Amino acid sequence: MQTPLLRSYPRMADPSETDALKERAGLILKLGSGFFADAYDLFIIDIVLAVLDQLPASQGLGLTSGSRGLIACSTSLGAVIGMVFFGVVGDRVGRRAGILCTGSLVFLGSMASSLVVRTRSFPLAYQLCLTRFVLGFGIGGEYPLSAAMAAEKSQSEVRGRVVAAVFSMQGVGMIAAALVPLVVLSAGLSLELAWRLLLCFAVVPSGLSLYWRFGLEETSAFDQLQYSRSRESDVWSTLRATIREHWTPLLGAALSWLLMDVTFYGTAEFKHEVADSLFAQKTGVAQVERDAWFALVVSVIALPGYVCACLFIDTVGRFRLQAVGFAMMTLFYLIMAASTRLGAALWVNLLIFSATFFWTNFGPNVTTYIVPSEIFPVASRTTCHGICAASGKIGAIAFRS
């Protein structure tokens, strides 16, 4: 007999899988639009910093390597704290309340980042660090809450595809983070206006996502938990019991996410250095545009990895998809090292580099997000998911610093 801790998701009606997916289209849009904004905010910062470097000294931030790194890492640092904090909030207060809070923080953080002002008492660079930290705090909370809500509102036959579809909006956000700079820079706007517009763009999808989420209802799994909670232990004792009984999957999920993020963010956030090794170096705005074009090509080629993950996650299985993904990532990183060493054609190196992202997405990037939303009990699901996600983001911070 199952214990309350290991209670499975409630079984829903059994329509065809296609009909079930159609019924979840609204849920995917409401949660996925937030992930679109999150991914855009995470990956636009390198382009923004590059644009700021092109400003005249009298208008610039006076960026040093230290302040650049601090601005870039502040979002990830906020995300780590947000993942753990809102993971606990999701298990104690509820998934819906938490997802509304995180959506609000992403919206406000995006807007505040674009509205920082120049003042002697509080340098603009430090203002960006603060606003980006708030933004990251909200982004971090999105991970455990959106995963749990998507999983708990989907029947078992299509659960993997629904959760994967929500997360796959990350890929669309990465494309936008490369495409929007190309449009803004080609419009002939001043660089001062350009970098502010790049940061402000995420206000639109995050605002829409927040508006749509007000129509979401709490999951039935959490409602059932609340009904029986008075007869059970509190969230902390429940978490301790979960860790004691399930420490092996928690450790495995956390380490898998850490390893994945080291490679994913290491390559995604350092496209500039990779582009320098593949293409002729340029200066000024032309270099920023080159990096944006490179990021766009890589993101477009990698996007089918998300699509394939959505199609095969419920048939191939989580473990096999993750294992094959890690193996193929390793293979293509080795091929990339050999091809650049041997001086292969640029288009060959570009395809190989893009293939690493394809297999990351068609594997551990999606599975590390899905698995924690399924293997842990309802009472501590978002807390454990937040711990796993935070371990991954710590890997990204360690690599970047």
Q: What is the pLDDT of residue 341?
A: 84
Domains of the chain: 29-400 (1.20.1250.20)
In sequence order, the 6+-apart residues with CB closer than 8 A to the CB of 268 are: 43, 174, 357
What is the Cα 90 distance to its own chain's centre?
A: 18
pLDDT of residue 1: 36
What pLDDT is attached to residue 163?
95
According to the model, what pLDDT value does residue 155 have? 83
Distance CA 80, CA 73 (A): 11
> What's the pTM value of the predicted model, to 2 decimals?
0.88
Which residues, 6 or more positions from 362, have their beta carbon under 8 angstroms from its beta carbon? 304, 305, 306, 308, 309, 312, 321, 325
Q: Which residues of the chain have pLDDT under 70?
A: 1-23, 57-65, 229-235, 268-274, 277-280, 399-401
φ/ψ (deg, to 5) at 194: -60, -50
389 Cβ contact list (under 8 Å, min separation 6) = 83, 87, 140, 143, 144, 257, 369, 372
pLDDT digits (tens, 9 = 90+) for 45-83: 989 988 888 877 556 566 666 777 788 889 999 999 999
Q: What is the pLDDT of residue 58?
A: 53
Residue 264: count of CB within 10 angstroms of its CB: 23
Structure confidence at residue 235 (pLDDT): 65
SS3 content of the chain, % helix, strand, coil (to 5): 80, 0, 20
pLDDT for the residue 121: 77
Q: What is the dihedral of CA 376, 382, 386, 388, to 10 degrees?
A: 10
pLDDT at 343: 80
Paired tokens of 191 = 């660089």
pLDDT of residue 196: 94
**Alpha helices of 188-234 — where are they, by DSSP H?**
191-200, 203-213, 220-229
Query: What per-residue confidence (pLDDT) applies to 369?
Result: 96
Residue 340: the pLDDT is 80
